[in-house]
């Protein structure tokens, strides 16, 4: 099958593209810089450019749309341009090209307004109450994708939750680096349960969705390992796997949320090359339970995570010991 993968310069997108090539598919990738993936037809460009999207879409039968602006802060207009406008361009081009399978990669943050989620299903995206511009615009993009769903153009949305593993710079390396610097806090007791997703399990679930979308479509599924852990344990496990000391910094929840709210208000008033040290969304994520029922996800995808939490941590420790 001829498949387009957008956002293939990132860890998840490139890993999905490589996996599809190994399985014998013809893969086209679309991203702003060269993907470097052997065997892929590589189109360099942005999803915000309709011409580049149309070029990448030529001849494909299926699309996996991962490209997004991912950040804890930034210009709202840029989030809208990529996560909403870019998604609209990809959907329009896919429908014009006669694509018959569309898998849209979203985030559980699109349906999280800061309260605890305990064994929760994939609730509908609520952009108006989402925390931060990333979650808001990813929510809008998800709604666009689901609105395009039909029997002729089946759309399935996956929301990977807290993906981690070797090569991950979004979560894994940040926690390890901040732990090494003594700047990684545990908020409150660190006992709030969270579910996470090992990177190769995420890849396998997305590949499985290409088949699943022909059977079930028009809905969103949260994807996790299905092994909730206390957030403090998760952070400490990542730190140890990366050779860092166990985080000792403890911050009460209320002051952390207040500090994150203040950072949200002032961070974009000046130029920054890095991510903010804390946001309200981050403070809430680190202090409230958020884990999700996986029964529906596994039923639809006909998939089980192959790598357990413990096995993933062992692989991560081996990666950093190289």
Question: Average per-residue pLDDT in the chain?
Answer: 91
- pLDDT for 41 equals 95
Q: Which is higher by pLDDT, 274 or 196?
A: 196
- pLDDT for 267 equals 60
- pLDDT for 75 equals 83
Tally Cβ neighbours within 10 Å of residue 127.
Answer: 17
- pLDDT for 280 equals 73
pLDDT, average across residues 21-43 = 94
| pLDDT bucket at 313, cuts 50 / 70 / 90 | very high
Rounded Cα gap, residues 14 and 166, in angstroms? 13
Q: Which is higher by pLDDT, 240 or 277?
A: 240
What global pTM score does this model have?
A: 0.93
Strand order in the sheet with 229-230: 117-120, 290-292, 193-194, 229-230
pLDDT above 60 for 272: no
Rounded Cα gap, residues 292 and 284, in angstroms? 16
Catalytic residue among 5, 42, 104, 134: 134
Rounded Cα gap, residues 220 and 163, in angstroms? 17
Lowest average pLDDT, out of 243-247, 262-266, 268-272, goes to 268-272
Q: Which is higher by pLDDT, 236 or 73?
A: 236
pLDDT above 60 for 79: yes
Q: What is the pLDDT of residues 220-260, one digit of tens each?
A: 999 999 999 999 999 999 999 999 998 988 888 887 778 77
* CATH class of residue range 2-161+198-223+291-307: alpha beta
- pLDDT for 268 equals 64
Output b/e per residue, 238-274; b: 16+ Cβ within 10 A. Answer: bbbbbebeebeeebebeebbebbeebbeebeeeeeee
- pLDDT for 275 equals 64
Specify whether 198 is catalytic.
no
Q: What is the pLDDT of residues 96-131, one digit of tens each?
A: 999 999 999 999 999 887 677 888 888 999 999 888
């Amino acid at each position: 099958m001829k498949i387009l993968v957008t956002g293939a310069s990132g860890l998840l997108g490139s890993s999905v593209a490589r996996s599809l090539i190994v399985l014998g598919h013809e893969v086209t990738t679309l991203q702003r810089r060269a993907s470097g993936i052997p065997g892929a037809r590589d189109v360099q460009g942005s999803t915000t450019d309709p011409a580049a999207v149309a070029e990448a879409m030529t001849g494909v039968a299926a699309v996996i749309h991962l490209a997004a602006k991912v950040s804890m802060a930034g210009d709202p207009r840029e989030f809208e341009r990529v996560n909403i406008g870019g998604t609209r361009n990809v959907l329009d081009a896919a429908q014009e090209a006669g694509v018959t399978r569309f898998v849209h990669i979203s985030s559980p943050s699109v349906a999280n307004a800061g309260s605890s989620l305990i064994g929760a299903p994939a609730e509908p995206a609520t952009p108006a109450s989402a925390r931060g511009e990333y979650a808001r615009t990813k929510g809008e993009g998800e709604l666009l994708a689901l609105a395009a769903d039909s029997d002729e153009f089946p759309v399935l949305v996956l929301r990977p939750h807290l993906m981690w593993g070797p090569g991950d710079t979004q979560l894994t390396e940040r926690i390890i680096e901040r732990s090494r610097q003594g700047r990684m806090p545990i908020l409150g007791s660190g006992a709030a349960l969270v579910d996470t997703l090992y990177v190769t399990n995420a890849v396998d679930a997305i590949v499985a969705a290409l088949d699943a979308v022909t059977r079930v479509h028009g809905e969103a599924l949260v994807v996790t390992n299905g092994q909730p852990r206390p957030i403090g344990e998760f952070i400490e496990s990542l730190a140890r796997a990366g050779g860092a000391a166990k985080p000792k910094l403890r911050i009460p929840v209320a002051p952390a949320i207040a500090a994150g709210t203040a950072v949200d208000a002032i961070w974009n008033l000046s130029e920054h090359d890095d991510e903010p040290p804390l946001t309200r969304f981050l403070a809430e994520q680190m202090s409230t339970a958020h884990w999700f029922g996986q029964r529906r996800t596994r039923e639809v995808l006909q998939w089980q995570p192959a790598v357990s939490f413990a096995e993933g941590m062992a692989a991560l420790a081996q990666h950093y010991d190289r």
